[in-house]
Amino acid sequence: MVRFKNRYVLCEVVSEDPRCRQCIEDRTVGLAVREAIGRVHGDYGLACCSISFTVKYLNAYTGTVLLRCRKDSYRLLCSALPFVRQLESRNQRYPCALNTLHVGGTIRTCQKFLIQYNRRQLLLLLQNCTNEEERQCIQKSLLSCALTEEQSQSGDEEDDGGTE
């Protein structure tokens, strides 16, 4: 059997409307990305990317999205992500953009990057604190940013069957 290699693209949903993040679902993100690939790269690009394209993880509160595609076609996917201009959910369209944060070979590397990214964001928030209560809350969040062994075993990509 042949093992097909995948790439995982970590993105964030950037929107001025705070309702946008809370109303999105993995299905709507997947449809918007497929539509953007079809517009930019046509039927060929859509066929290449659709082979193993899935939305592996979506956090509606932070706006973090993890997309999986084949290693051969991840460049087509990444080049089409800036063309996602809106997400449609419950017959409402929310203007937004997808910002690519990281491209990795495993889910674990994307998790590690996301922890470091969140730490940097918390440090920026810490510099802008106005009172001591906010400062202590953010410092507590900084100290709790770690990837534990339980999280790594439940989120590994070996569970999703590397052979297709």
pLDDT digits (tens, 9 = 90+) for 82-91: 999 988 877 8
CA 23 to chain centre: 16
What would the two tokens of residue 146 be?
């770690």
Q: What is the pLDDT of residues 111-149, one digit of tens each?
A: 999 989 988 888 887 787 788 887 788 777 777 766 555
Q: How far apart are CA 145 and CA 49, in angstroms?
A: 33
At residue 57, the 3 state secondary structure works out as strand
CB atoms within 10 A of CB 112: 15
Q: Does domain 1-105 have CATH number 3.30.365.10?
A: no
Tell me which residue of 82, 110, 87 sits closest to 98, measured CA to CA: 82
The residue behind tokens 């369209």 is 93
Q: What is the pLDDT of residues 6-32, one digit of tens each?
A: 999 999 998 887 777 788 888 999 999
- Paired residues of 110 in beta bridges: none
Q: What is the pLDDT of residues 53-65, one digit of tens each?
A: 999 999 888 889 9
Q: How far apart are CA 108 and CA 122, in angstroms?
A: 21
| Position 161 confidence tier, pLDDT thresholds 50, 70, 90 | very low
Q: How far apart are CA 16 and CA 19, in angstroms?
A: 9
pLDDT reported for residue 30: 92
The DSSP code for 147 is -
**CATH 3.30.70.3250 region(s) of the chain?**
1-105
